[in-house]
Homo-oligomer: A and B are copies of this chain.
Amino acid sequence: MKREATAQALAEAAFDLAKARGLDGFVIDDVVERAGYSRRTFANHYSCKEAAVASVAYSGIDAAVSALEDVSSDVPLLDAIHAVLRLQLTTETLSRMREVIRLSREFPSLEPYVHHVQHRMRLEAEQRLRLVAADRYPPTYVSLLFGALYGMVSSALEGLVDVRLPGDTSSGPGSLEFDQFLDVAFKHLRSGF
């Protein structure tokens, strides 16, 4: 769909500008000039530049959930999710999220939109996961499980930014810390606190 492509192009331009000049270092006119659209078109897609910048964190969620939907149904649900997170929550996707979170620390006006994107990702993933698991688990169970999982993962993402922010962009991808964290999180998910 063309609409989506335009939105992504605008978001990309806004994200680049925010990285380069900071969130207050540019106006919407700069974004549309860079992306080659009109200001009016920007307003058709985003309500403000914050929304555009935050939206880039959304990329990758689709691939992750799709991977989950492909998992054969005789693999236990928790195992499947664990494996998918390990595979998908890496490199590009993870480092973008971290960059957006980092920006939102520096420019608090970005925070609401980042949280909004995270929330939408959670909703979409949860909804699609519920379909995948519909024949094995009741919806309420999946909601609780997913809510708990989301809470732990998002808490870890924020934590990673805190811990590793000063300096290294090095160990972004399948970083040891994140994998280790995932293991602990799933241990609790399986057998409680």
Using CB atoms and an 8 Å cutoff, list the residues of chain A in contact with chain B: 47, 51, 78, 109, 111-113, 115-116, 118-119, 126, 140-141, 143-156, 159, 184-185, 188-193
Contacts and interface: CB of A to CB of B under 8 A. Distances in A.
B184 A188 contact: no
18 contacts: A47-B109, A112-B116, A115-B115, A115-B116, A115-B119, A141-B193, A143-B155, A144-B155, A145-B188, A145-B193, A146-B151, A146-B155, A147-B148, A147-B152, A148-B148, A148-B188, A190-B192, A191-B191
Contacts of A153: 147
Contacts of A146: 151, 155
Contacts of A47: 109
B188 A191 contact: no
Nearest to A50: B112
A147 B143 contact: no
Contact of A185 (B115, B144, B150, B156): B144
Contacts of A149: 148, 151
Contacts of A119: 111, 115
A116 B111 contact: yes
A27 to B, nearest CB: 16
Contacts of A189: 148, 192-193
